[in-house]
Amino acid sequence: MRNDLIIGMAGSGGDGIVSAGESLMSALAREGYYAIMSKSFGSQIRGGESSCRLRISTDPVLSPGGTLDVAVALNWEDFMRFGSELPVDGRTVVIYDSNTKVQPDKLPLTEVRPAVAIPVPIQETARQHAGTDKAKNTVVLGLLAGWFKLAEENVLAGIRRKFGKKGEQVLRGNERAFAAGLEFAAAHPVDLDVVMAAPKAANGKILLLDGNEMCAAAAIFAGCDFFGGYPITPSTEIMHFLSKELWKHGGTVLQAEDEIAGIGAAVGASFAGKKAMTATSGPGMSLKTEILGLATIAELPLVCVNVQRGGPSTGIPTKSEQSDLFQAIFSAHGDAVRPVIAPISVHDTFRMTVEAFNIAEAYQTPVILLSDQEIAQRKETVPAINTANVHVVNRRLPTRSELDNYVRFRVTDSGVSPISHPGMKGGNYLASGIEHNEKGAPTAKGDVHARMNEKRIRKLIPLKHRRDLFVIEGDSHAPLAMVSWGSLAGVASEALERARKAGMRVKLLIPKLLYPVSEEIYRDFFREVKAGLIIEQSYQGQLYRVLRMYVDLPRGVQSLARSGSNPILVEEVVSRLQQLTLDLQRGRVPEPEPMLG
């Protein structure tokens, strides 16, 4: 019996591969399993390939996992397009459509012989029993439920819920297609350890949603009044969710004519006293940069979500990457410092979205929330969130006495000044993009400019001491260390557990606050470290480079970085840790890698 199973499926657009994965995941969640499902698509506007990888476990899971236990290929051309995203080895059970005319010993898997390859007449079965190719995904569900004993009754119940609205004929056809898949599996048993163990007793209510949905829900909880944006993959679902739900809570959504108008409207809403948000991806961030500078100098709260994807330019819109860190931190003219924070899972996206609003409101600054396609579009089973433990911060309004002679940008001890809004008696002020004095009047005086720069930057210093925005795991005195962020944090956490079980002394730091850099926290973490890895999904190793700017990294700390669409696997991290451990045992401090890029 297995406690963990990774299934990868690929086909053409319209084959319903992602729909099949979602149906199976929903059924398994109802059974009590934990699951993560990642989705991947070709970049074509219409058609093209699509895939999903579903990891099922009797215990909570932190990452999509590595090599597939089960691979389903509706056609080989599409499956092979996903390359390292759907890795297969000698332990994998491969299921494929026999209409591809490929023999089991001639699979187009480079230098890989899977444990077993099973040709199945998937398309023919769908046509015979449902009268349409569109039921291929339902046949696949029957095969998976039959061979791996995966929630047969709940899968069937999900099929009836989904197709019951489409008429009796469609429903009956899909029921027959599912039954045919079960029958084929029963008639062709697989002589391998492929059956999942029963789930453990579920604890409380389980939610099934993706990171973009979680982000939008958290924005509503945080008190978001206004969203201004423009559709862009892979962030668009945030706007879709808010378009359906925000008005119910008194808020407004504006789908603007472009990215610049979207953030401009959001900044205007913030000036009007509303909690405001915009969301985009890398190309849209490039367009929003100037108005982010306006929000910085006008000291206006704003949350800007960047769901990262492959770049530069249009890049790879449908694949995950962590290559916008430089952009988030440095793409501002002048001495602009703006907080950059990042969630590490779908569940964590709730807290970090609320935190983004809290930081924006408390420090009167734009905040960039760096999600990525992997977190934003993957689905997870997550426990229901106890919102009683989540604190919401609102901006500091001026008191009556402060409004008697209102000085909007007064230089205070904290650097934060009370902020009014139009309609507040005595609270009128000028909020322009030009440098100004404490009252908001434009100025070109060097001493005033220096004082206002100091004010805007100094007010963020307390953020650097927020240890609750960092996760530290493992042996605090370990000589071996890892740092990772965003969607790679789960991979690093699993690697940590495997390394510890293998007897290695390792620790892990996961920063959720990426900027400003918390030198003290990193300095404490690296104090006894001899070697380690900075793990991230960017060719240049951007976090590695940022840390080298601000932190005296131990000589043996190396970068483990790779471009998007080329996943870093747990096994790979553990292997690198083993090599570093051997180097330390032999008295050698590993040499840092040559500068990347």
The domain that holds 471 is classified in CATH as 3.40.50.920
DSSP 481: E
Report yes or no: 478 and 555 within 8 Å, Cβ to Cβ: no
Q: Are residues 108 and 43 in the same domain?
A: yes
Question: Strand 302-308 vs strand 513-515: parallel, antiparallel, or unpaired?
Answer: unpaired
pLDDT for 44: 65
The verdict on 306 and 158 lying in the same domain is: no
Any idea of the CA torsion for 151, 157, 163, 164, to the nearest 10 degrees? 180
- The domain spanning residue 268 has which CATH number? 3.40.50.970
Q: Which domain holds residue 284?
A: 208-389
Same domain, 271 and 320: yes
Total length of the chain? 597
- Do residues 498 and 570 lie in contact, with contact meaning Cβ atoms separated by under 8 Å? yes
Cα–Cα separations (whole angstroms), residue 208 to 16, 23, 161: 19, 11, 17
Domain limit, last residue, from 417, 438, 464? 464
Rounded CA gap, 285 and 292, in Å? 9
Domain assignment present for 322: yes
Among 336, 363, 389, the domain boundary falls at 389
Domain boundary among 442, 464, 486: 464
The answer to whether residue 40 is domain-embedded is: yes
Residue 597 lies in a domain: no
Residues 357, 367, single domain; the answer is yes
Q: Is 481 in contact with 427 (CB distance < 8 Å)? A: no
* Measured distance CA(491)–CA(64) in Å, rounded: 8
Per residue in 69-90, pLDDT (tens digit) is: 999 999 999 999 998 899 999 9
The number of folded domains in the chain is 4
Contacts of 156 (CB under 8 A, 6+ apart): 175, 178
Tens digit of each residue's pLDDT, the chain (597 residues): 889 999 999 998 888 899 999 999 999 998 899 999 999 887 766 567 899 999 999 999 999 999 999 999 999 999 999 988 999 999 999 999 999 999 999 999 888 899 999 999 999 999 999 999 999 999 999 999 999 988 899 999 999 988 888 888 999 999 999 999 999 999 999 887 778 888 886 656 788 999 999 999 999 999 999 999 999 999 999 999 999 999 999 999 999 999 999 999 999 999 999 999 999 999 999 999 999 999 999 999 999 999 999 999 999 999 999 999 999 999 999 999 999 999 999 999 999 999 999 999 999 999 999 999 999 999 999 988 999 999 999 999 999 999 999 999 999 999 999 999 999 999 999 999 999 999 999 999 999 999 999 999 999 999 999 999 999 999 999 999 999 999 999 999 999 999 999 999 999 999 999 999 999 999 999 999 999 999 999 999 999 999 999 999 999 999 999 999 899 999 999 999 999 999 988 888 777 665 544
In a domain, 168, yes or no: yes
Does 16 lie in the same domain as 138? yes
401 and 420 in a single domain? The answer is yes
In sequence order, what DSSP letters do the residues of 161-201 get, joined into one string? HHHGGG-HHHHHHHHHHHHHHHHHHHHS---SS-PBPPPPP
For residues 222 and 351, state if they share a domain: yes
Q: Domain check: are 359 and 420 in the same one?
A: no
Q: Is residue 56 part of a domain?
A: yes
Buried b (16+ CB within 10 A) or exposed e, 474-501: bbeebbbbbbbbbbbbbbbbbbbbebbe
Both tokens of 44, joined, read 């074509």
Q: How far is CA 265 from CA 215, 268, 278, 329, 435, in A?
A: 20, 5, 9, 23, 21
Contacts of 169 (CB under 8 A, 6+ apart): none
329, part of any domain: yes
370 and 506: one domain?
no
- What pLDDT is recorded for position 595? 52
Cα–Cα distance measured from residue 385 to residue 38, given in angstroms and rounded to the nearest whole number: 22
Same domain, 313 and 423: no
My answer on whether 366 and 285 are in the same domain is yes
Examine the domain organization and report whether 378 and 440 are in the same domain: no
Nearest to 151 by CA among 31, 7, 17, 2: 31
- Per DSSP, what are the bridge partners of residue 481? 507, 532
Structure tokens at 514: 């990426």
Q: Is residue 590 part of a domain?
A: no
Contact assessment for residue 509 and residue 478, using Cβ atoms and an 8 Å cutoff: no
Alpha helices in 272-321 (DSSP H): 282-297
Identify whether 593 is part of a domain. Answer: no
8 A C-beta contact, residue 547 and residue 553:
yes
Cα dihedral 218, 223, 227, 232, rounded to 10, equals -10
